[in-house]
Amino acid sequence: MIAHQVSIFLENKPGRLEKVTAVLKATDINIRAMTLSTSSAGWGILNLLVDHPETACQKLSQAGHPAVLREIVVVSMKDRPGALHDMLSLLAQAGLNIQNAYGTVLGDNKEAILIIDVENADHVQKVFESAGVQTLRAEDVYRI
């Protein structure tokens, strides 16, 4: 099963991010990773990797925060120089474009994950699998 992130269209004003986190806290949803990027026009996109994305999206939408689910592929890789380049090279060689990406290192065991938001998650999944790259199942992603 493909994993999802929650993407929220957010006005760049004091307290807007806090209103989103208040909804998630009230719903007992844990944020595992996030990115926030804003434009010069004063709006931005908040991408959240959470433990219950469908519920988060629903509760945020009900609270007036425009939210959508986006398919993501999560890749496990070694925390070493060049590991990110190796993953990106596979996608470039396959002619696949990344819409958004973020990553993190997990604990002290030299493992990292790369979260990739792409238009065709199934194709990306197949590219990685054929190259022997481990992708994480949705259940594993939400427990990170």
Where along the chain do its domains lie?
3-70, 71-142
- CATH level 3 topology of 71-142: Alpha-Beta Plaits (3.30.70)
Q: How confident is the model at residue 83 (pLDDT cuts 50, 70, 90)?
A: very high
Beta strands in 1-144 (DSSP E): 3-11, 31-38, 43-50, 67-78, 98-106, 111-118
Question: What does the pLDDT look like over 1-22, one tens digit per residue?
Answer: 789 999 999 988 899 999 999 9
Q: Which residue intervals of 27-115 are DSSP H helices?
A: 53-62, 83-93
Stretch 94-108: mean pLDDT: 87
pLDDT on residue 127: 94
Q: Residue 66 burial (CB < 10 Å; 0-12/13-18/19+)?
A: exposed
Q: How confident is the model at residue 40 (pLDDT cuts 50, 70, 90)?
A: confident
By three-state DSSP, how is residue 103 classified? strand
Q: Is the pLDDT of residue 124 over 90?
A: yes
- pTM equals 0.88
Stretch 57-62: mean pLDDT: 98
Which of 39-48, 89-98, 120-129 shows the lowest per-residue confidence on average (mean pLDDT)? 39-48
Could you give the CA distance from residue 122 to residue 103 in angstroms, rounded to a whole number? 20
- CATH level 3 topology of 3-70: VC0802-like (3.30.2130)
Q: Do domains 3-70 and 71-142 have the same CATH topology?
A: no
